Amino acid sequence: MTGERLLTRVRNRGTVRRYSPRTVDAYVRWIRQYVRFHGMQHPSALGGHQVGEFLTWLARERRIAASTQNQALAALQFLYRDVLEQPLGAIGGFLAAKVPHRLPNVLSRDAVRRVLQQMDGAPLLMASLLYGAGLRLSECCQVRVKDLDLDRKELRVRQGKGGRDRITMVPDALVAPLRAHLRQVRALMARRIAAGGGYVALPGAMDRKAPHASRQWGWCWVFPAAREYREGLSLQRRTHHVHQTVLQRAVAAAARQAGIGQRVGCHTFRHSFATHLLEDGYDIRTVQELLGHRDVSTTMIYTHVLNRGGRGVRSPLDVPKG
């Protein structure tokens, strides 16, 4: 089996296991590095000892974080267990990367507003959702129209980290701007459909089960990319959601213009969301549910957040000054 054939099998197996595209891409990168580290030998000729050597090299020479080393290990375990069908068993003996003890970077309420004041258009709406609803960057980029209920002021996050769904709030301050934005997006998609495009990628097996849904309004991205692309197999002119780097660059530029001295990234808004809710006296369990953290069960997310998260918790974006 050649290298490219092996990586194709990795991608196919990851798709069958319903891993996210980002996870599959990360696994492919680690497997490619692993093969190069061992002089382009085929992984089937290697084993647990060689995996340990690679992980030790990553920790000692590359000085990667513990979470990054864990991702590399998960990629190689997936390769041997699910693709090569040669489970590694116990590896042991490798140098584990150190787990850093860092506090999350949190902005004051005033600093958040100063950054947001330097933004406009779709990036402003997206950054406001990161802070006002506690979204991750990827979750914000991938919101579809059908998951945004402005009447109930709820946003349903699909396939968040760990493949879990959850519900969070839509701040009162964003309802009117989002309605205006959606009118513009709908007009854009109508123009693209009239020109023969306007398709969007559908999750899972939806392409086969409901192929016409790829042009339905509910499946459209709330934040579509400025340009269409040509899908490889069907040659459809599709619209992707806006790329994460668009918002990352906008946030970095806004923080510089606002004169914020500390490091500000998209995830800083999520940290600030959680901290400010706790400062306002909200129960920590409720905050965990709104954030979709791993230690809260799916059932508790649905029952507890449905009753309090979407309609009872007031977003920090809506708290008046003074």
Which residues carry out catalysis? Answer: 136, 161, 267, 270, 293, 302
Sequence length of the chain is 322
Burial of 38 (0-12, 13-18, 19+ CB in 10 A): middle
Place of tokens 């006002």: 132
Nearest Cα neighbor of 193 from 210, 222, 216, 226 is: 216
Identify whether the C-beta of residue 286 lies closer than 8 Å to the C-beta of residue 304: yes
Please tell me the distance from the alpha carbon of residue 109 to that of residue 318, in angstroms, as a whole number.
11
- Give the DSSP H or E segment for 274: helix 266-279
Pairing state of beta strands 166-169 and 224-230?
A: unpaired
- Residue 97's alpha-carbon distances to 58, 83, 103, in angstroms, are 8, 26, 18
Cα–Cα distance between 203 and 220 in angstroms, integer? 12
Cα separation, 163 vs 74, whole angstroms: 16
C-alpha–C-alpha distance, residues 303 and 11, integer Å = 35
Tokens standing for residue 105: 């970077």
